[in-house]
A and B are shown apart, each in its own frame.
Chain A
């Protein structure tokens, strides 16, 4: 098989199109590049969807945590502590077995034990908690003058929040939120190592990388390929979020802008 045929056969292997059997021997560099790249589709799927829904929920959580009402504040604080205080790995395991038990109770939960749904829910809740903490911090540091000016203009309630508080909160939170996004994409690699089974050997990038490392007993090829893909993905995320950051900061003078600092990634 030449490289073009390999790409045709395996480029969408991770989502169930193309060749059914994985290569079993004589692994070429092309095989590894194609399959690990194919697995990246899962990482992007998990990361992108969790990020979009997580953004909305995190905003709500941050507001709830900042609320003067105990009934709103306490649940939000507990939710954030629960997901930030425990390892994502354990959260995955717990959620998988929880869904397994729920499945026995009602057929409603049938699809939840599949990684595509169950793991996505966990990632969504997890990133919501982390982002909510970032947004909460930003909300607390919205300048007092901005709020006073809004009051002076007679803005109240939703209009004040949408036009004054929220844009400033986003602007302040954005550099940290970019890190959170990068971090979330890295965290998606945990899915198939934590309870959630891969169906018909359709897994994410790390799943295929470790498949090759196991088969060839040579970690020095598949893992650097994985690293290459992730650095590429990280650069894409940075440039995408950088564009948003420039838009959020377009009214701020050059010298006062908060620089985007890409911090190291850590395990959650």
Chain B
């Protein structure tokens, strides 16, 4: 990257390090931090949406919908989440291919499961086997996001369901007394009031979501863990201009520091949001704020 990097064998000390840390592979490593942030940026709102849907479904008066909501919340508890991550990616992949297979090749007679193989017709493959590498990578990334959203959606649904129950009944009754219909009550009273109760749980969930991002590695995405293992491993002089020993420990130390910093910053931001949301609430925190203002 720098002009003095043309002949790495002559470099020493810091200049060697600066050249080493700016190779193309390292750029891909830095970009993978972006992948993690992108994953968080997409997953968090999606999971929140899933959670809201799940909570509303669980509260519904229509019994099958309520069962579905409760089942969705219940099923993700009690089982190690990493198993869900491993399960959903294959299950979603096969489910999508199976649906496409049914639609696109209706006259396919052979069974799909043949012993240990899962066979669908060629045009039902997702993505098509002829498509370029980046399509496969993007598809894998989207599967990962969907998996994260489903699993964390269930956790969020649990939190939001509890928060909706915690909104004082008197407020909802007052809304009814003012002649708001159930839909208006939901949108104007329940939804805005719920956040202050849901925030402790949701901020905890955000912390957990941050700490779950290294699992991307298990889903086959080239994330920071993948690059730390690749770049840290022993490099010998025959294959690279920058030979070094086993540095994986230092790469993972860097990841550790990255996550610690990220957690710390999130903690600070979330505590500010908590203060903002408890303004005017009939809770201990809200009362303390009112007194402080005088």
Contact surface of A with B, Cβ cutoff 8 Å? 25, 81-82, 85-91, 93-94, 97-98, 100-101, 186-187, 189-190, 193, 206, 209-210, 213, 215-220, 223, 226-227, 230-231, 234, 264-268
Contacts and interface: CB of A to CB of B under 8 A. Distances in A.
Nearest to A222: B87
Nearest to B76: A264
A91 B208 CA distance: 15
Nearest to A89: B214
Contact of A100 (B113, B246, B253): B246
Interface residues of B, number: 46
A231 B79 contact: yes
B118 A223 contact: no
Given A98-B249, A264-B76, A87 B214 contact: yes
Contact of B87 (A101, A186, A223): A223
Interface of B: 76-83, 86-87, 90-91, 94, 113, 116-118, 154-155, 158, 204-205, 208, 210-215, 217-218, 225, 228-229, 232, 246, 248-249, 252-253, 255-256, 259-260, 263-264
B211 A267 contact: yes
Contacts of B249: 94, 97-98, 100-101
A105 B113 CA distance: 52
Given A89-B215, A220-B91, A265 B118 contact: no
B268 to A, nearest CB: 13
Q: Taking chain A's interface residues, is the majority helix, strand, or loop, or is none over half, making it mixed?
A: helix
A213 B113 contact: no
A81 B260 contact: yes
A231 B78 contact: yes
Q: Taking chain B's interface residues, is the majority helix, strand, or loop, or is none over half, making it mixed?
A: helix
Contacts, number: 127
A94 B257 CA distance: 11
A239 B59 CA distance: 30
A206 B80 contact: yes
Given A85-B259, A216-B116, A266 B252 contact: no
Nearest to B118: A217
Nearest to A186: B80
Given A219-B86, A266-B81, A94 B155 contact: no
A32 B118 CA distance: 19
Contacts of A86: 211, 256, 259-260, 263
Contacts of B205: 266
Contact of B225 (A89, A91, A217): A89
Contacts of B208: 266-268
Contacts of A100: 246, 248-249
Q: Which of A209, A213, A234, A265 has the most CB of B within 10 A?
A: A265
